[in-house]
Amino acid sequence: MSSLSSGTVAEILKRLHNEADAADQQLARSYEDKATSHDQIIAQFIDAENRDLEGLYHGFAGNFLNVSAEFGQFLYMCARSCKAKRIVEFGSSMGISAIYMAAALHDMGGGSLIGTEFEPGKAKRAKANVAAAGLADLVEFRVGDARETLKPGVGGDIDMVMLDGAFTLYLPILKLLEPHLKPGAVIIGENALKEASGYIDYVRNPQNGYLSLPLPFDSGRGNEYTIKTR
């Protein structure tokens, strides 16, 4: 039995998903009113990032913008399958995805997750949520621009990366982490669309040392599954 099945972690995740649904309902409706497909919604985000990235995400300080429960379980499974000991997450928001991955570390006997979050208020709430789930000893949150907060390194080799922050920064963040990626490391890009940063072209080019495919579930959100081959 995993931590996701019952107990504190399961209870906290259920509460947080309910809070996220309530907090993001109006935002989701506003974007759906302007677009006819998920790709169009993401295209709107990308355009807004290119115009004013900091201003855009300051405006989402109260929104979760979280992974679904299904995708969270997938992250847990990825961490378990690659026997992760060190995970890095770009864009932790309120900590829901961090809890799924930290639960996997816990269930395998320990490890570390380094989360990054641009908004201090979100990072504070993420830290509290992770603590409520009983996983605080496994997670460190770095607050600010991840291009700067990850520069000092992450303390060793990386087994898994979750990219779920500003779409246009996926490729720069991956390249920043690249020297620390173990062969076989798993990289998950949520909403990793080709137009955003060149990320898709980069990870689908075997000459760059990756194998990569789109994930065929989670409502067609453009998620990408990648492994480091060397």
pLDDT tens-digit series, residues 119-168 = 999 999 999 999 999 999 999 999 999 999 999 999 999 999 999 999 99
Residue 35 has pLDDT above 60, yes or no: no
- In order, the DSSP letters of 123-172 are HHHHHHHHHHTT-GGGEEEEES-HHHHTTT--SS-EEEEEE-S-GGGHHH
What's the 3-state SS for 170-221? HHHHHHHHHHHEEEEEEEEECCCCHHHHCHHHHHCCHHHCEEEEECCCCCCC
Q: Provide the mean pLDDT of the chain.
A: 92
pLDDT above 80 for 87 = yes
Q: Assess if CATH 3.40.50.150 describes domain 1-230.
A: yes
Structure confidence at residue 219 as a pLDDT band (50, 70, 90):
low
Judge if pTM exceeds 0.75. yes
- Consecutive H or E run containing 10: helix 8-34
How confident is residue 28, by pLDDT bands cut at 50, 70 and 90?
confident
Please determine, for residue 197, whether its predicted confidence score (pLDDT) is greater than 90. Answer: no
Find the mean pLDDT for residues 102-118. 98
H helix or E strand, kind and range, residue 114: strand 112-117
Q: Can you read off the two tokens belonging to residue 163?
A: 């990219």
Per-residue pLDDT at 91 exceeds 80: yes
- Largest Cα–Cα distance of the chain, in whole Å? 46
Tokens encoding 151: 């520069």
Alpha-carbon distance of 227 to 66, in angstroms, equals 23
Q: Say yes or no to pLDDT of 31 above 60.
A: yes
Q: How high is the pLDDT of residue 46?
A: 84
Region 190-203 average pLDDT: 85
Domain segments of the chain: what residues? Answer: 1-230
What are the DSSP calls for 76-90, one per residue?
Answer: HHHHHHTT-SEEEEE
Burial class (CB in 10 A: 0-12, 13-18, 19+), 31: middle
Q: What is the DSSP letter of 67?
A: P
Q: At what angle do helices 8-34 and 96-107 cross, to 10 degrees?
A: 150
